[in-house]
Amino acid sequence: MVASGWDTDMAGFMSGKKVLVTGVLRDNSIAFHVARLLLEQDAEVILTSFGRQMKLTELSARRLPKPVPIVELDVTDADHLAALPEQVRQHTDTLDAVVHSIGFAPQSVMGGRFLEAEWPDVATAMEVSAFSLKSLATAALPLMPNGGALVGLTFDASFAWPVYDWMGVSKAAFEATARYLARDLGPKGVRVNLVSAGPIRTTAATSIPGFEEMEGRWSERAPLGWDVTDPEPTARGVVALCSDWFPATSGEIVHVDGGVHVMGQ
Ligand SMILES: NC(=O)c1ccc[n+]([C@@H]2O[C@H](COP(=O)([O-])OP(=O)(O)OC[C@H]3O[C@@H](n4cnc5c(N)ncnc54)[C@H](O)[C@@H]3O)[C@@H](O)[C@H]2O)c1
């Protein structure tokens, strides 16, 4: 029996939803596939990019199924964050979901140099990759008067991975930030959830010195198998969490990793 009041027609299941998607750099970015799937499901999408990366984002956006606006947002820039609502309102009055698909750490704090890392570089990694979830959430909140979804991407921070180093520590802070945001934004109707993805060969990933070691034997270990060149399963998880189909879920981390996280080895 189908509960009354729920829309069970999956075609265009994001129809009428307005979603801000950060992190589209190239057409292998996880966020590119999130934006593509959202557009295929009839959502309205607004992208963000910044600085010299804007040109790459514009080129990638041309490969999306429909034209989309791009607003300027460096998540570490207080002026950009303050201007975000006004920038977005040039395209839509409200948002139903916000996707955080942002990560950066200087190479000096990854690649097996955990013990040598210096605080200023670690601080950059933490600010861009963890604190930014709070910055983006509070900047976008005025656009979500009726609540909505905030969805981010992590790489399972319960483990010490090869070469991930201070990016791994940043992801631990990111995951904790998501839990505190779930606590503080729940009363405003905002659900905060993360997708914990397996390794995918994107720009951010391949810029980690020794990323191949993180890919490791992932595809062999995954009970469902895993394709490091396919961002779509991860993007699907993000879109699902943006939708109305997780109405009572917050503070959750959904693993989209082929099942690796439950394997003993
Ligand atoms: N690729 C993987 O293996 C993998 C696995 C798990 C989680 N993730 C996470 O997925 C997210 C997206 O990364 P991706 O793999 O698609 O790589 P990507 O390089 O395509 O995307 C990273 C994005 O971060 C953006 N960014 C960096 N600094 C920023 C700043 N100051 N302000 C705003 N945006 C900024 C870049 O513009 C880029 O679009 C990241 O959080 C990453 O840690 C990736």
Predicted confidence at residue 2, as pLDDT, reads 43
| Within-domain flag for 122 | yes
- Which atom of ligand 1 is least distant from the CA of 203? 19
Predicted confidence at residue 9, as pLDDT, reads 57
State the distance from the centre of ligand 1 to the C-alpha of 134, rounded, in angstroms: 16
| Within-domain flag for 3 | no
The total domain count for the chain is 1
CA distance 47 to 57: 9
State the distance from the centre of ligand 1 to the C-alpha of 3, rounded, in angstroms: 38
Residues of the chain whose pLDDT is less than 50?
A: 1-4
Residue 171 annotated as catalytic: yes
Contact 75, 48 (CB under 8 A): no
pLDDT in tens, 195-254: 999 999 999 999 999 999 888 899 999 999 999 999 999 999 999 999 999 999 999 999
| Within-domain flag for 169 | yes
Contact 53, 25 (CB under 8 A): yes
| Within-domain flag for 1 | no
Buried b / exposed e over 12-40, threshold 16 CB at 10 Å, is: ebbeebbbbbbbbbebbbbbbbbbbbbbe
Tokens of 172: 């631990």
Ramachandran region, residue 5 (left: φ > 0; alpha: ψ -120 to 50; beta: rest): left
Which residue is it, tokens 């069970």? 8
- Answer whether 205 contacts ligand 1 (Cβ < 6 A): yes
Predicted confidence at residue 3, as pLDDT, reads 46
Distance, CA of 232 to chain centre: 13
- Answer whether 204 contacts ligand 1 (Cβ < 6 A): yes
User: Which of 50, 74, 77, 102, when mutated, tests ligand 1's pocket best, judged by the most ligand atoms within 8 Å of its CB?
Assistant: 102
Q: What is the enclosing helix (H) or strand (E) of 134? A: helix 132-140
- Answer whether 169 contacts ligand 1 (Cβ < 6 A): no
State residue 87 phi and psi, 5-degree precision.
-60, -45
Three state DSSP letters for 234-249? HHHHHHHHHCCCCCCC
| Within-domain flag for 264 | no
Determine which one of 18, 55, 164, 180 is catalytic: 164
Predicted confidence at residue 5, as pLDDT, reads 54
User: Sheet holding 253-256: strands in order across?
Assistant: 70-72, 44-49, 18-21, 97-100, 148-154, 190-197, 253-256
| Within-domain flag for 52 | yes
Predicted confidence at residue 8, as pLDDT, reads 52
Nearest to 101 by CA among 5, 237, 4: 237
| Within-domain flag for 55 | yes
Residue 134 annotated as catalytic: no
| Within-domain flag for 125 | yes
- Which atom of ligand 1 is least distant from the CA of 30? 16
Range of the domain at 53: 12-259
CATH code of 200's domain = 3.40.50.720
pLDDT in tens, 188-204: 999 999 999 999 999 99
